Chain A
Amino acid sequence: MRMSRRAATATAALVTSLLTLTACGAADGSGGADSASGKVEGEVTFQTWNLRAHFKDYFEGIIADFEEKHPDAKIKWVDQPAEGYPEKLSSDAAGGTLPDVVNASPDLVYPLAKAGMALDLEKAAGKYREEYLDEAWQSNQMPGMPGVYAFPWYLNTGPMFYNKHLFRKAGLDPEKPPTTYDQLFKDAVSMARKSDRKIAMLASTPSIEDFGRYGVRLMNARGTEFTFNEPKGVELLRHYKELYAAGALDSQALTAKAESSGRKFQQQSVAMNPGSALDLETFKKEAPSLYKNIGITDTVNNTGRANMYVQGLMVNAQSNVKPAAVAFAHFVTNKKNQMAFAKQVTIFPSTKGSLDDPYFTEEDGTDATRVRVASAKSLKNAVNYTPVLLSDQMKTVLRNAVAKALQGEQSPKAALDGAVAECNRLLKTG
């Protein structure tokens, strides 16, 4: 087989470039000893998730206080950007460079705990348990594993923002946003009709949290199987299919990301969008005409319980400075430091008694305070609807099934049955 020289050169170059396809190593997941007793000393690497830009002074203050209290300990603070955080954690974990104290949500802690990389705090720091809200402490329990694998840190629950001007235009009462799912669906269809499909009520398709809020049982009691294909789940999807057909869901909802949904809301082509108190500042700066018409309400639910987002501090089980790492993780999440953090930004402490502070119960008439007080109230009995066992791949499976149902490629029941079967299969292979 003769080949021209140029072709041969091209072949060689191309084969070389082809060889650079993905390759990842796997780490050995042997857990370390759960001993955190001993002298608080050594250098602790502390990793936060996109917090340096806004809260540099706060964290530097905490670090200085801790180092003053423990002169033999030193804290090295690193911060990672919001984008690609799970990927960064996985490369660190696989490469054996996981920091000693890591900021992570329960769904990120689960795979690390399963691989033996998260310290069991029931054993190592059980004495601190009573300082935290029970639900918050339990949020880092992992299905099928004894123990708790992260200190609870700050809590959040997103209010729902709505555009009063668009409500008015659609003939809806801007002072009476929907409080039940039935009302939400009815208002959404009416808005799409009135605006000739130009204004959608919602920008995205239902996620696992929405199924939870609607009252769908997401998993069986033992956490061994997903169950969101039960009749209530099918009912929710049927409603969303009607919304999509009526133009009450944004036309690009099937491929929406949080960022694109937020953009649509700012462009005032979508009337309602979940958010946090941080968004208010953004609206003020970037969309003043929207800010003038902003309404804030609770996210609707059928369960009487809002969704709670939990952030935690995980201690690396393979850390060489475990006593110092545990001491520092506890120090950051103690009542005093969490309260100080809550005064910097609208987040909520996970320590007992903190939410009864007047700061979270008394309004002063401003929007920000209203959001804070309303959110704190709803957090009292909130739950984290997202199952920690739901991996990113499973989330994609659910999203694709929802899209197929909304486009009419499959019936809502068939789509959810398929998604549950696939998620259960992935659960078993995990």
Chain B
Amino acid sequence: MSDTTSRSGVSPGAPRPEHTDAPVPAGTASPPSEPVRRRARAAPGIRTHLPSSPWLFLAPGLLIVGGFSLYPFLSTVVNSFTDARTLTEGQFVGGTNYQELVHDAMFWTGLRNSLLYVLGVVPPLVILPLLLAILVQRHLPGIAFFRAAFYTPVVASVVVVGLIWVWLLDDRGLINALLEAVGVGTVGFLSDPWLLLLSAMAVTVWKGLGYYMIIYLAALANVPRELHEACAVDGAGAVRRFLTVTVPAVRSTMVLVAALSSVSAFKVFSEVYLMAGPTGGPGGEDTTLVMLVQQVGTGLSGRVGYASALSVVVFVITLGLMLLVLRANRKKEDEA
């Protein structure tokens, strides 16, 4: 970093330029007036041109990101090329873990379930919270209660939420008791592999609604009311106004929600683990990729090398998903 005082073109001791009221040609910056320049000078005794100053400010953050994000990430990549176990250093094995992964049926099951989770969870998490936000946006008496109520599942622990839903959806739980009462019979929400996955998706959506609703509320606050009024004057109904005013105004927020929810959906663990059990449902049919990482990489005999290879694949796919969403958004922007 260079010294700002020397760049101003005024060296110490040089005659000061006279003050003039002559108009300044457009496009040229006027030199700072004397009082301003004097204020900008450093207080006596403080050095303003320490080259490492910015790095010192950045250091705490860099240390945390480097130590807790970058280093583990890089060591995961390195480990993925070894046969490391929990208690033993690994030997370099090249791409063996990645080759094994391609032939591992559980990997493909996990990939299928994680992708299905994205497809099942993202659309409702983009649309429903927006509708909910529009609903609670109005200033009605007692609306704060509803906003808080919708947000409650977000702050609840995922373990508590998972257990409550397990009790509700159990073959002998409340929901099945009601279905029995109306003559539908028992539905195997937690014993049928597909219904289990759908149940876990439903819990993820239910838990995420409030979180994304808050994001949409912030976005909706920035939509000019005049647009709605002008639309209404033109005779547009509520649905028309929603499609022509609200959606375009919050489109970038929708993209953000889609990106955030697709990443978290692809990395889902807790809901499936709690509802489908540690094996990932009957015969492991509901295992997701992150569950598989946990299954093979933890415990005293954990295959850290193989689990790292799985993690790297999860990272690459997640990054790809996110870029896909953002790219789709840019295309829309360009078209607009």
Interface residues of A (CB under 8 A from B): 2-4, 6-7, 10-11, 14-29, 86-87, 89-90, 93-94, 108, 110-112, 114-115, 117, 250-252, 254-257, 260, 267, 269, 391-393, 396, 399-401, 403-404, 407, 409, 429-430
Mark interface residues in B184-195 (1 if CB within 8 Å of A CB, else 0): 001010110000
- In the complex, chain B residues 296-336 whose Cβ is within 8 Å of any chain A Cβ: 296-304, 307-308, 311-312, 314-315, 318-319, 322-323, 326, 329-330, 333
Q: Are A393 and B330 in contact (CB under 8 A)?
A: no
- Chain B residues with Cβ below 8 Å from A29 are 87-89
Q: Are B87 and A14 in contact (CB under 8 A)?
A: no
Q: Are B300 and A7 in contact (CB under 8 A)?
A: no
**Distance of A2 Cα from B334 Cα, bound (Å):** 10
- Chain A residues with Cβ below 8 Å from B31 are none
B80 to chain A, nearest CB (A): 10
- In the complex, chain B residues 277-293 whose Cβ is within 8 Å of any chain A Cβ: 277-279, 281-284, 293
Q: Are A11 and B326 in contact (CB under 8 A)?
A: yes
Interface residues of B, dominant DSSP = helix
A199 to chain B, nearest CB (A): 11
- Chain A residues with Cβ below 8 Å from B277 are 255-257, 260
- Chain B residues with Cβ below 8 Å from A17 are 263
Q: Are A255 and B86 in contact (CB under 8 A)?
A: no
B89 to chain A, nearest CB (A): 5
Mark interface residues in B67-90 (1 if CB within 8 Å of A CB, else 0): 011111101100100011111111
A265 to chain B, nearest CB (A): 13
The reply to whether the CB of B125 lies closer than 8 angstroms to some CB of chain A is: no
Q: A18-B318, A252-B190 are in contact. Are A24 and B86 (CB under 8 A)?
A: yes
- Chain A residues with Cβ below 8 Å from B323 are 11
Q: Are A6 and B263 in contact (CB under 8 A)?
A: no
The reply to whether the CB of B134 lies closer than 8 angstroms to some CB of chain A is: no
Q: Are A87 and B298 in contact (CB under 8 A)?
A: yes
Please list the 6 inter-chain residue pairs (A to B) with the smallest Cβ-Cβ separation, ordered nearest first: A23-B72, A403-B283, A115-B87, A254-B282, A111-B300, A391-B301
**Can you list 6 A-B pairs with a CB-CB distance of less than 8 A?**
A14-B263, A111-B300, A115-B87, A255-B279, A255-B282, A403-B284
Q: Are A22 and B69 in contact (CB under 8 A)?
A: no
Q: Are A108 and B322 in contact (CB under 8 A)?
A: no
Q: Which of A22, A28, A93 contacts B311 (CB 8 A)?
A: A22
Q: Are B283 and A407 in contact (CB under 8 A)?
A: yes
- Chain B residues with Cβ below 8 Å from A93 are 86-87, 300
B57 to chain A, nearest CB (A): 18
Which of B3-11, B142-150, B253-261 faces chain A? B253-261
Closest to B76 in A: A23
Q: A22-B307, A391-B301 are in contact. Are A400 and B284 (CB under 8 A)?
A: yes
Q: Which of B171, B259, B302, B308 contacts A10 (CB 8 A)?
A: B259
**Distance of A184 Cα from B259 Cα, bound (Å):** 54
B92 to chain A, nearest CB (A): 13
- Chain B residues with Cβ below 8 Å from A112 are 87, 300
Q: A7-B252, A111-B86, A254-B191 are in contact. Are A25 and B75 (CB under 8 A)?
A: yes
**Distance of A115 Cα from B301 Cα, bound (Å):** 10
- Chain A residues with Cβ below 8 Å from B65 are 16
- Chain A residues with Cβ below 8 Å from B90 are 26
Q: Are B259 and A400 in contact (CB under 8 A)?
A: no
**Distance of A90 Cα from B301 Cα, bound (Å):** 8
A102 to chain B, nearest CB (A): 12
Q: Besides the contacts A23-B311, A24-B302, what 11 more A-B pairs have beta carbons closer than 8 Å?
A: A6-B256, A11-B323, A26-B84, A26-B90, A110-B300, A250-B171, A252-B190, A252-B191, A254-B191, A400-B279, A403-B282
Q: Are A90 and B87 in contact (CB under 8 A)?
A: yes
Q: A18-B315, A396-B279 are in contact. Are A23 and B79 (CB under 8 A)?
A: yes
Q: Which of B283, B303, B329 contacts A393 (CB 8 A)?
A: B303
**Distance of A257 Cα from B297 Cα, bound (Å):** 21
B260 to chain A, nearest CB (A): 7
- Chain A residues with Cβ below 8 Å from B85 are 26, 430
B220 to chain A, nearest CB (A): 16
**Distance of A176 Cα from B295 Cα, bound (Å):** 41
Q: Which of B75, B188, B299, B319 contacts A23 (CB 8 A)?
A: B75
B75 to chain A, nearest CB (A): 5
The reply to whether the CB of B240 lies closer than 8 angstroms to some CB of chain A is: no
Q: Are B68 and A20 in contact (CB under 8 A)?
A: yes
**Distance of A396 Cα from B301 Cα, bound (Å):** 13
**Distance of A340 Cα from B46 Cα, bound (Å):** 72
Q: Which of B255, B256, B278 contacts A396 (CB 8 A)?
A: B278
- Chain A residues with Cβ below 8 Å from B302 are 24, 90
